Amino acid sequence: MKRVAWMGLMAAAAFSLPGMAPAQSGPVFKSGKLDERALVEALAPPEPEIRTRSIRVAPGAQSPYAQPRPAAQAASSSGSASLLITFETNSAELTQRSKSMLDVMARALTSDRLAEFGFSVEGHADPRGSSDLNARLSQARADSVVEYLVNQHNIDRARLKPIGKGDSEPVNSTNPAAPENRRVTFRTQVE
């Protein structure tokens, strides 16, 4: 039985934008601030607590014998991040900016820390069309992201599961037509 640890990836920036709901699934990254190492840290599942007889070692705790971890790795992973791959209204075509962001994502997905995990790729639409149209459009967006990662970066298709979420999960509820509501979210699946 699979236990799924949800880790969103909507591509925008490591802060909440005005009018946006708080990021429920970790940091949100913008294209200009997109960093492969930060993506890996955000998507890597939290380290499990290690127990020995009567000693508990919490994730991120240092053993007196361990080498110090770099600052980027010292913080405990939230197990999630958002990468806002946006689309034009009523389109599933990737923009050049989105492709550049997916190039960084591909490097993160092939890193040693993430190479063993699968990811759901969730397409989203803004609520301006019918629910049926938005469901199809969001599926097409997820499919186009998966196709790009598979064809351009040789990511194993079995690791990526495209899912259309329709318009049910807007990031910016203040402005339903906002570009961040037309996005793709990545979530790490952990067995």
| pLDDT > 90? residue 152 | yes
Q: Kindly tell me the burial class for residue 189, based on how many C-beta atoms sit within 10 Å of its own C-beta (0-12, 13-18, 19 or more).
A: middle
Instruction: Tell me the pLDDT of the chain averaged across its residues.
Output: 75
CA angle 36, 39, 41 (to 5 degrees): 110
Q: Which residue has the tokens 């190039």?
A: 103
pLDDT digits (tens, 9 = 90+) for 103-120: 999 999 999 999 999 998
Find, among 69, 46, 72, 71, the residue nearest to 59 by Cα.
Answer: 46
Chain centroid to Cα 12, Å, comes to 11
pLDDT digits (tens, 9 = 90+) for 28-69: 676 677 788 888 887 887 766 666 666 665 655 555 544 444
Report the pLDDT value the prediction gives residue 10, as an integer from 0 to 100.
40
Domains and CATH numbers, the chain: 28-45+73-189 (3.30.1330.60)
Q: How is the chain classified by DSSP, letter by letter?
A: --B-------BS-BSPPTTPPP-TTS-EE-GGG--HHHHHHHHSPPPPPEEETTEEE-TTPPPTTSPPPPHHHHSPP-S--EE-----TT--PPPHHHHHHHHHHHHHHTSTTTTT-EEEEEE---TTS-HHHHHHHHHHHHHHHHHHHHHHH---GGGEEEEE-TTS--S-SS-TT-GGGS-EEEEEEB-
Could you give the CA distance from residue 181 to residue 149 in angstroms, rounded to a whole number? 21
Report the pLDDT value the prediction gives residue 44, as an integer from 0 to 100.
81
| pLDDT > 90? residue 154 | yes
> pLDDT grade, residue 147 (50/70/90)?
very high
pTM (predicted TM-score): 0.70
| pLDDT > 80? residue 16 | no
Report the pLDDT value the prediction gives residue 6, as an integer from 0 to 100.
32
Q: Which of 1-5, 68-72, 135-139 has the highest mean pLDDT?
A: 135-139
Report the pLDDT value the prediction gives residue 74, as an integer from 0 to 100.
32
